[in-house]
Structure 1
């Protein structure tokens, strides 16, 4: 399975990451990626950048070191209503929106609360992908949420960092179940390194292995093709990116 996009990466702006967008792009080039999603933490995460960091991403070149740059965010799911921590006015400036649970922002609650929050964030139409769902602190009704994600064309992330055992410990078993159910339901998957340092860019080996283990069709893995990924964004209602014209083919 050839991955050409890293859909979840952080820069020093996130407050607890250690590389710049330039360093990340250079690492992506060396690792032969075609596209890089830059997805710093949204404002409610301690140490995260403010509103203007995300609204001003329009100044970023569409290519850095020959790698296409997708302007994004890892937003925080705030509550059971499925709200995220950026105003709707920011959406027009973003190509790619991840929604994730983070303990400092959404205190772990009941399975019912987590399920309701995920269903509502999917239905909000503001997010393109659900991030690191394997976190055992946030159990939810997997089949119910994934069927909703399929209906609303929201992708499911397979987060490589969650599979390393170094972060969100205990995620590996839940991630396996999520991929198994996701395959049966027919969701779209993405693969994200969740890199917080440039050397982690494109580190996706564990995510790839898990998808292979469950026999997920490559056509359901958005990050295997620039065309697949960018056309998914069109399916989500995003505007075509003129600079990436040849990458839609």
Structure 2
């Protein structure tokens, strides 16, 4: 499976990542990617940037080294109502909005409580992708999550980092998620969740998982710029037109 974009990448602004925008863009160009999304954590994450960071992304060029740059966020879900850690005014100006449950931000709960929290985040009008929903730290009813993703037209991520260096124990949940996505027709993305430039565009473990589950490129948004643009265009009043 060929990927044209990495839609989940962190810069030094996240507080626990180690590369600059220029270093990341160069790495993406070396990987022959056509697009990356800068998705630093929201301000609710310890060490995360101030909300003004996201407003000021307008200063970043739309293209670097031949790679298109989307200005986004990995927002943190902060409570069981699905509230995110950036106001909707700023979220509306993002090219792409990822949202996820993270330690130190989202409360731990039962499977039912975690499921409700994740689905409530999907109801936010600006959320495009739920990241690492296979994280065993926040176990959810994966069938309910996949059905809700279809209902609210939100993509679900197969996170390569979860299968390699973080969120140990994610693999069986990600396999189940991929199988359910195939059954119900949910949109997927593959994200590197890169926190260092050399891992930008590293999708090896996630690609192997998708192959094992019989997932074709037509289900994965970041195998095609057209699929990415079509997904982002469903929000008609974004700052940019794609």
Asked whether the two chains share a fold, i.e. TM above 0.5, the reply is yes
2:75 matched to which residue of 1? 75
Q: Deviations over 1:72-124 (max 9, x none)?
A: 10000111111100011102320111111111111321111111111111112
SS of the equivalent of 2:16 reads coil
Q: Mapping of 1:96-111 within 5 angstroms?
A: 96-111=96-111
SS of the equivalent of 2:138 reads coil
Q: Distance in 2 between matches of 1:22 and 1:12?
A: 11
Q: Which runs of at least 4 in structure 1 moved beyond 3 Å after TM superposition? A: 236-242
Q: Distance in 1 between matches of 2:23 and 2:111?
A: 39
**Residue 210 (structure 2) pairs with residue 211 (structure 1):** yes
Q: Which blocks of at least 5 consecutive residues in structure 2 are unaligned?
A: none
Q: Tell me by how many angstroms 1:212 deviates.
A: 1.2
- Partners of 2:130 and 2:157 within 8 A in 1: yes
SS of the equivalent of 1:71 reads strand
2:6 matched to which residue of 1? 6
- Partners of 2:92 and 2:238 within 8 A in 1: no
- Partners of 2:3 and 2:224 within 8 A in 1: yes
1:66 matched to which residue of 2? 66
Q: Which blocks of at least 5 consecutive residues in structure 1 are unaligned?
A: 245-249
1:18 matched to which residue of 2? 18
**Residue 176 (structure 2) pairs with residue 177 (structure 1):** yes
2:40 matched to which residue of 1? 40
TM-score, scaled to structure 2: 0.97
Q: Tell me by how many angstroms 1:240 deviates.
A: 7.9
Query: Cα RMSD (Å) of the superposition?
Result: 1.3
Q: Distance in 1 between matches of 2:229 and 2:35?
A: 10
- Partners of 1:9 and 1:195 within 8 A in 2: yes
Q: May I ask how many residue pairs the two structures share in their alignment?
A: 242
Q: Distance in 2 between matches of 1:145 and 1:109?
A: 16
Q: Distance in 1 between matches of 2:71 and 2:39?
A: 7
**Residue 197 (structure 2) pairs with residue 198 (structure 1):** yes
SS of the equivalent of 1:8 reads strand
Q: Distance in 2 between matches of 1:4 and 1:155?
A: 17
Q: Deviations over 1:33-68 (max 9, x none)?
A: 000011001001000001010111112110011100
